[in-house]
Amino acid sequence: MLHLYGLIELYSFLQRLNSGTVSQGDSHGVTPVRVVSPAIFRSHLPQILITHSYLPNEKENCRLAAGYTWEITKALRGEARVTIYPAIKCVKLGHILDDLGHVLAWIHIGHGKGEEGLQQSDDQLFISAKNWLGSFAGYKSSLALVLFCSCRSHLVAELFAVSGAGVAIGYAQNVNTENCVEMLRKVVEATLKTNGSRWAILEAFGVGGNRQGDPDSSPVAFWASH
C-alpha cells in the first residue's frame, strides 16, 4: 500500500520510478553509460508525459495518482522516456512540451467538470478544453494518444481528437479506478508496441475499457479520421 501525503513526497516517489539502474558492463563488451547534461543528441526513445493536478491536501487522490503512475511506468523501463509532472497548471504545459519536443502520449490525472474543463493545480481553477489545447499551440508534432483519467473529461478528449490527436480517451461521468488501471496498462502498451497505431490503441481500448457493469464509469474514446 502506498502512503504519500505531501506533494514533494509524491514528486520524489514518482521521480524514483522514472529513474533506471545502470550496470557496470558485461562479458559481451556492452557497457551502458550515463548521458551528460546537457546532451547533444536527443533520446531516440518514445516519450510519454504524465501530469496530475490534485492538490497536496487531497491525500487519497494523490495516492491514487501515484498508483496510476506506477502501473504505467513499472513495465516501461528501457522502452520509453517518461516525464512526470505532478502539479500541472495549464500555462506550464506549453513550456514542458517545448522542452520535450515530440511526445507519443500524454496522460493526465485529475478532476474534470464537463464544459468547465479540467482542474489545474494550486489555484483549483477549472480550465476549459480550448485553453488546455492552446498549450499545444507551439507543438509541431503528432500526438498518438491523449488519455484523461478524470471524471467528466469526455469533452476535452473530443476536442483533442477533432484537433488531430490520434486517439483521445476520457470519461463522460465517473472514473472506475480498477477499470481505469486495466485500461491504462493495455492502451499504453499498445501505443508503445506499435509506435502509436490508432487501430492498435482502439483495439486495446476495446479490451481494457471493460464496458461491462456501470455505464457511467466507462471510458469513451474518440479518434481522428484523417
Tens-of-pLDDT digits for all 226 residues of the chain?
A: 444 445 555 556 555 555 544 445 555 688 888 888 877 877 778 999 999 988 777 888 788 888 888 888 876 766 888 898 988 999 999 999 999 989 999 999 999 999 999 999 888 899 999 999 999 999 989 999 999 999 999 999 999 999 999 999 999 999 888 788 888 889 999 999 999 999 999 999 987 655 555 666 789 999 988 6
Residue 166: the pLDDT is 96
CA 166, chain centre distance (Å): 14
> Where along the chain do its domains lie?
7-15+44-223
For β-strands 47-52 and 105-109, DSSP reports them as parallel
Residue 70: the pLDDT is 83
The vertex-210 CA angle with 71 and 220, nearest 5°, equals 90
- All three cell numbers of 81: 522516456
Q: Are 133 and 176 in contact (CB under 8 A)?
A: no
Residue with cell 493526465: 108
Q: How far apart are CA 165 and CA 179, in angstroms?
A: 23
- Continuous H helices in the chain: 7-18, 59-73, 90-100, 129-134, 154-162, 177-193, 198-208
This prediction's pTM? 0.80
Residue 4: the pLDDT is 43
Residue 5: the pLDDT is 45
CATH class of 7-15+44-223: alpha beta
